[in-house]
Amino acid sequence: MTEPTFQGRIVDAMSQSEPWWPPRAAAPEGAPNVVVMIVDDMGYSDLASFGSEIPTPHLDAVAGEGLRLANFHVTPTCSPTRAALMTGRNSHAVGVGGVANIDPGFPGYAAELPANQPTIAETLRDQGYSTLMIGKWHLCKESDLGPGSDRHSWPLQRGFDQFYGFLEAQTNFFHPHQMYEGNSLVNVDQYPDGYYLTDDLTQRAVEMISEVVTDEPEKPFFLYFGHGAVHTPLHAKPEEIAKFRGAYDQGWDAVREQRFARQKELGLVSPDAVLAPINDETGPDVPTWDELDADGRRLAARYQEVFAAMVTSIDDSVGRIRDLLARLGKLDNTIFVFLSDNGAASDGGTDIGKFNHLSAMHKPSQRSVAERIPGDLARIDEIGGPTSWPANPVGWATTANTPFRRHKFSSFRGGNQVPFLISWPAGLDGVGGEIRHEYAHVTDLMPSLLDLAGVPVATSRKGLAAEPLDGVSFVPTLRDGSAPTAHTEQYLECFGERSYYRDGWEAVAIRKPVTPFASDRWELYNTLADPTQMRDLAAENPDLVEDLVAAWTAAAGENQVLPMADGTPVHWFQRPPSDERFVRETVLLPEVGMVERFRSAQLIDGRGFTIEATLPGYRAGDAGVLVSHGGQEAGYVLYIEDGSVIFAQNAFADSTLATTPVLVPEGARSIEVRVTAPGGSRWLVDLAIDGTVVVEQAEMAQLTWLVPFNGISVGMDRRSPVLWELHQKYGTFAWTGALDAVTYRPGELAPDAFAVMIDHFRKLGRATQ
């Protein structure tokens, strides 16, 4: 008998076997698409549907077809809210108890999510969803931002198929300091004229949705859109700002009263609710509008015109996405969620706002309002544009948080009660335009969305058992306005400010930084009868206060809250020893492009340093930037123009400091900038050519921590320009000659650098715990 051929055996096997393919994850039949849009630093009253005069027609449409949750709470700052949203757990419990920049060495403040806890993106992707992310992430450490860093805490490693945005807290809206596409840096030398971040993010969101729906029409998608707006810097397109010219000349007292009246008409607050005073004794001073002089009022109004224009850009973004979904036939079966990450910020901290918010990093440059008004008034039309880095006056931040007390970072409700909208035409029909007043918390969002989508809560991640969710589904209250909330208790902590909520009662600690936590006084509010927390009932209910404080203490232990930030800079500047790897001589070749911001900062932060540009030989006529570091917020640049070398500094967009131009001799091979940091926030700069000092001891402002915000760029001034005048003349001013390398050599720390003072801060902090 003849043996079958090899081909014959394959044919025979195929005829006798059923084909097998590994099963694909499939979402429940008819599963809805999910869009979660979170905005940054928007106050409770900043949408028209929550009382604002700012037109937001597209968000009004969401409110009209869906629901407003009038009693929705987040943490008082950005990263913790995002961590709680992503995991359904309390932020400290997942290692993000504070802003995710630095890991100070405490489990509750690790600045990244734990390996065992799945995100909502990971959960939905495992259940057959496409997962898309746009915009701000801010859930990884600064030391992990660079192209060579560990990406385990980047969006793609935490469940997203696609990502386009930025990884930090903020960026320049006209010249973003660093964008990322997936796991890669987006390399841009100069953004095109008319570029605006919100438009770019929205366009990419539209493209992502179109791509996945076209490719897999039956597959649902999850889009997480983290807007940069309305976080500082307050940047808006000039034509949008112009629409609000004069709209805020009446001032914040009047606008706040109007918003409060509108909130009562809308049914967001009860008719007998009391508007909190604009000047709260526990927060920064807020003057009445009439206390400002005419010039001060004119400046302050301009900032709110820019802020309003930013809000409309967000609404336009919502409109573009909803229009696309409608044209794709997906709008009815899309759950759309809109919320803010915390209350409006009082970053401006002054009566009239700040032209450059980051100037707060340099104490010697601080001036009184009266001293600042003439210079700021001369540049009023620049506020909101690419030469500014503005922050709103505290009076407008308080207005944004109407009707509540305080702002971002506060344990009072101005810090954590935010606007919240949800719609799903196909699944929440019959409730359009209604308001729910039951308590809900950001940890409830993940279980609620999974509940609506019919997706189970994941119990593990990569073989590691997950912890149970802290949040609970609020779907019953969405469907039935008489259903009680299932979220009856919640702790809060933010930079030492604390509160505890239980069944409508809320105890709030009155915190004074750098004092013992045990000495803080606790106030008590019945938020069902007093939602703006105006009547302290602690004296009448001492036992209840004691119970709530004990409950807070227990929750703090369960959620890794301790040790808390105490008012010293320890939580900001206590870095792991591994970060020392960044403080070493670094050779930058012309091909490097722009060095990531944090990596750049480590070469100069708090210390002296040397920059050496090495050339194969200077030739007459060679011109351009040898190295730049920073942007319009602040920075420095070494360049040659008309045969002379200049080291110049943008001192917080307030003034330009520059060395005297020195002719560069033919054949020069080394141009060196030698910076010493003697303390007092000063730099002393020497300039040398081929080892010979040609400029001595030029005094400049010391740049530190977040400043410069743009990274180091070799051979041109990329993205946001350090010197606007130079940019207007030459653009990026690319170096026309040959350039071997630019070498940074970090030097001695200043005597008052935070790294030198850290033991002192630790000693101060120990006394508070």
CA-to-CA separations, 299 to 52, 245, 414, in angstroms, rounded: 21, 12, 24
Task: Tell me the C-alpha distance between 34 and 243, whole Å.
Answer: 33
**Bridge partner residues of 221 (DSSP):** 130
User: Please, what sign has the CA dihedral across residues 234, 237, 239, 240?
Assistant: negative
Query: How many Å apart are CA 325 and CA 78, to the nearest integer?
Result: 28
121 token code pair: 């993106």
Active-site annotation holds for 571:
no
The sign one gets for the Cα dihedral 462, 465, 467, 473 is positive
Q: Are 204 and 133 in contact (CB under 8 A)?
A: no
Which of 78, 362, 437, 727 is the catalytic position? Answer: 78
Which residues, 6+ apart, have CB-to-CB distance to 542 below 8 Å? Answer: none
What SS3 state is found at 624? strand
Helix, strand or coil, per DSSP, at residue 500:
strand
* Main-chain dihedrals φ then ψ at residue 576, nearest 5 degrees: -70, 150
On whether the CB atoms of residues 134 and 205 are closer than 8 A, the answer is yes
- The pair of structure tokens assigned to 1 is 């008998």
What percent helix, strand, coil does the chain show, rounded to 5?
Answer: 30, 20, 50
Terminal CA-to-CA distance of the chain, rounded, Å? 90
Task: Kindly write down the DSSP assignment for every residue of 270-311, as one continuous string.
Answer: -TT--PPPSS-TTS-----GGGS-HHHHHHHHHHHHHHHHHH
- Contact criterion met (CB below 8 Å) for 121 and 158: yes
Q: Which residues, including other chains, have CB under 8 Å from residue 389's CB and lie 6 or more apart?
A: 172, 232, 233, 355, 356, 357, 358, 632, 633, 653
Instruction: Give me 536's structure tokens.
Output: 């302290």
Residue in this structure with the two tokens 């993940």, named with its chain if needed: 446
Q: What are phi and psi of 678, to 5 degrees?
A: -80, -5
Beta-bridge partners for 414: none
Residue 767 near residue 657, CB atoms below 8 Å: no
Burial class of residue 371, CB neighbours in 10 A (0-12, 13-18, 19+): exposed
Non-local (6+) Cβ contacts of 116 within 8 A are 460, 461, 462, 464, 465, 466, 467
Q: Which of 646, 719, 604 is nearest to 174 (CA)?
A: 719
How many angstroms separate the CA atoms of 731 and 405, rounded?
46
Other beta carbons within 10 Å of 582: 18
Residue recorded with tokens 């305080």 = 406
Q: Any catalytic annotation for residue 138?
A: yes
Q: In terms of Cα–Cα distance, which of 765, 579, 602, 614 is closest to 689?
A: 614
655-658 vs 464-465, strand pairing mode: unpaired
Please spell the DSSP secondary structure of 15-42, one letter per residue: HHS----PPPP-PPTTPPEEEEEEESS-
β-strand partners of 465: 460
The neighbouring-strand residues paired with 637 are 628, 648
Crossing angle of helices 197-215/294-328, nearest 10°? Answer: 10
Among the listed residues 58, 73, 92, 138, the single catalytic one is 138
Helix (H, G, I), strand (E, B) or coil at 6: helix
Residue numbers annotated as active site: 78, 138
